[in-house]
Structure 1
């Protein structure tokens, strides 16, 4: 979202030890969504400390556009810890991303035409979301009062938003869920919040920040910010997400007659050499065409595997296998990877020893191509619920 609005943006994997890369914006990627709340807070504060030392002017705690979390966190605890560290008493919470069908109206999160609680997120294997009322969800995770910045205020623009935020702050509200139903709402929120020390949101609000920064003279957006070098070599798709969207994308690939290999979690648990088998299978095919290696399963299959193995062990087995496969594919000459699933993406970049990603052009809303800094390696890291049904083929076509 920052790059498409003209900011040169780099993502670092984990908190770096050295200086900040040359960029307008730096994203510190943490695996904190599903870790214990205390660990998520500690990691987020470490990232904040590094970013402050690097000279960052504003901080943005980004979470998923489906706000998926648990009553224990981690959105509320991390937001409040960052607020305390920055000595600020107010910020917004807005996961809206209208281009991907995520809208917030009267404090309720919609996925398309359905409430979040009626969407596929209801059966998420790690963070099932069965309440669409974000004020209630966030209040359960937060110590301070949570309020609502309603759509009728947001629609009036930045000045009205400023006034309402001041009123909420005066009432003791520390976190305010902000309604947003289209990109104009996101831009208005970005302008109104550009001077706050901290914003918490999905990626959507970032769409309006570059213009707000430029208006303040902080930087000049660059239309070529998304440019990445061409990279040759083989291509592969790795899919560990079991979301509704990714299931449809895998099915589309299979129905198109493209080569695919399924990773069976129960076979992994039984000690079968699934990763070696997948790599042997891929070795015979990747020179001719991109391949898909997937552990994606329908919800009922996921439940059966979790019942047999336990949720945590099932996830770890699949992540470890896909990480091993990614490393092996790299040795086989794969230089363009499409990866489906947040947890899977984290495992893959770690296996490929990627520490810094330069962000490139958008494939579908919320999903760009990226380049491993200083290496001939391109990665498209896709949230499970994002992307069109033909996303895998579309992504690879862009970098042929």
Structure 2
């Protein structure tokens, strides 16, 4: 039986199901509460992103506003840090934690944008959840300005991760090694949560159809750039006109107008339960050229028994035991070749169910709640 702990949980985003990262936060809070821990949550406000706790052990203590004006003022308040890390600066929250952090057994800082709060509570036991290693994300961008920005990011991230009372958390061994190499700090690997709806998939859901999927939050530039790239460089070279289902919200009206006119393309928008759609697909297509960290959409596709065709950036960080189901592509011709192969082949429901079970077995261990003892 775990000892009940009092946790101050500060997140850069409202927990919810709008994005994979927010969904992890939501499921983590429910898991911690289910283990008997008492959690006070501080989050930052987003339009149309509401959080209603599903457990009595979770208390929303504070919801802080965001806005362009506030972000610009924050640059002046903490000029030594890159603006990425100061966008969630709140003097009211600093005032609260500096006076009340001793009331808590630990402080959990969720997403790199809130790591700055650790500077103000150096004596508190802190857990920092790196959804991404931010320096890697910026280092992959090109240009003189980006090079200067990446150096600033490196110095800022190194400062925010330093401290004896901090335990760093990450989703993959790959990111753990990056943190060790760049910052000389060890990190603990925790498993992402799989949505409970994946566990509820029925045998019939794994019957493979003839369509392919794209899946993501389409208000994120790295996702939309990959989608445009695919239809410009890959789609015209395919042997036959495949059916494509595009899952996810946030797509602009302009992009909807472009993609909805392409033969065989179906824009599904936000889907409350996208997992039967993923489970029935030939493959998930993931042409990502920017970003960092484990891509939850890739993990969820595997958990639905579906192979993923993607770039190295899209597939990085996934457990090595699942490598056979990841088809790596570098060029447009690579994608054309591999998608043509997938279109001509098919998998039985039994094969897809086997992958579903294997993925679940790997990603249902090493929970953060198990670390608390």
TM-score range, shorter chain: 0.3 to 0.5
Which structure shows the higher helix fraction? Answer: 2
TM (norm. structure 1) is: 0.34
Question: Which is bigger in relative contact order (C-alpha 8 A, separation at least 6)?
Answer: 1
TM (norm. structure 2) is: 0.35
